């Protein structure tokens, strides 16, 4: 895991390089990516927009730009940029995962599950894709292939996700939510919440 101090140094280096070469797209993209990790989406957006202006065909920049827009609550714009990235590189599972979370945030759980399934097909060992799929299916009724209100099915699916990546903080947190909200097993829930917090101590969701 890269520490925040390393992202700050990388951001400072990108700015130094931009001071020497202000019209190089990859330095703007690097600055934007670092700013995203430093939770400064407005600054990230500015650099990523400039990177895309300089190199309109760069689908990775579109992906990062979409994420900056999502963090600012500009979901329709974020989705538009993601579709552009997918059009250029449809085999990148990360793009489908991000599109799926956008669908999830607008409560279109069926679309979120389809995106997650596509990502899993592209990368069967991707724990992030599996996490999204479990989250989406947990909101869908059995008639739509989901397991809403079926806590044990959710736990089984999350265990499969954690088998792919035992350090998946989102899956650990979601496991805690199931034990807390669905089963009322508070001690078990606390264990999972603590594990997620240990992996991401700066995440406000876990503290």
The two structure tokens encoding residue 34: 């670092």
Q: What confidence category does residue 109 fall into, taking pLDDT thresholds of 50, 70 and 90?
A: very high
Q: What confidence category does residue 3 fall into, taking pLDDT thresholds of 50, 70 and 90?
A: low
At CA 49, angle to CA 37 and CA 127, rounded to 5?
40
Q: What is the dihedral of CA 82, 9, 206, 101, to 10 degrees?
A: 0
Q: What confidence category does residue 82 fall into, taking pLDDT thresholds of 50, 70 and 90?
A: very high
- Mean of pLDDT values over 82-100: 96
Distances (CA, A) of 92 to 41, 63, 83: 23, 10, 12
The two structure tokens encoding residue 67: 């994420």
- Mean of pLDDT values over 45-51: 97
Percent of the chain with pLDDT over 90: 92
In 3-state terms, the chain is what percent helix, strand and coil (to 5)?
75, 0, 25
Q: What pLDDT digit, counting tens, does each position of 6-36 carry?
A: 999 999 999 999 999 999 999 999 999 999 9
Residue with tokens 């979409």: 66
Report whether pLDDT(74) > 50: yes
Report whether pLDDT(151) > 60: yes
Report whether pLDDT(204) > 60: no
What was the pLDDT predicted at 203?
61
Residue with tokens 């590189």: 89
Which residues, in sequence order, are CB contacts of 118 under 8 Å at separation 6+? 93, 96
At CA 150, angle to CA 149 and CA 156, rounded to 5?
140
Alpha-carbon gap, residue 59 to 156, rounded angstroms? 35
Mean pLDDT of the chain, nearest integer: 93
């Amino acid at each position: 895991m890269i520490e925040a101090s390393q992202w700050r140094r990388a951001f400072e280096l990108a700015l130094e390089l931009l001071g020497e070469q202000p019209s190089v797209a990859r330095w703007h993209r690097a600055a934007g990516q670092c700013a995203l990790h430093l939770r400064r989406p407005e600054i990230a957006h500015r650099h990523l927009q400039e990177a895309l202006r300089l190199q309109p065909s760069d689908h990775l920049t579109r992906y990062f730009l979409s994420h900056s827009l999502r963090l600012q609550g500009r979901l329709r714009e974020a989705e538009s940029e993601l579709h552009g990235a997918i059009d250029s590189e449809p085999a990148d599972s990360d793009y489908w995962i991000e599109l799926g979370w956008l669908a999830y945030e607008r409560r279109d759980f069926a679309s979120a599950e389809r995106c997650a399934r596509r990502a899993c097909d592209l990368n069967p060992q991707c724990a992030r894709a599996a996490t999204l799929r479990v989250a989406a299916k947990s909101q869908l009724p059995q008639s739509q292939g989901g397991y809403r209100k079926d806590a044990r099915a959710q736990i089984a699916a999350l265990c499969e996700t954690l088998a792919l990546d035992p350090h998946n903080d989102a899956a650990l947190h979601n496991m805690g939510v199931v034990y807390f909200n669905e089963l009322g097993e508070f001690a078990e829930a606390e264990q999972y919440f603590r594990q997620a917090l240990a992996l991401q101590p700066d995440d406000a969701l876990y503290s």
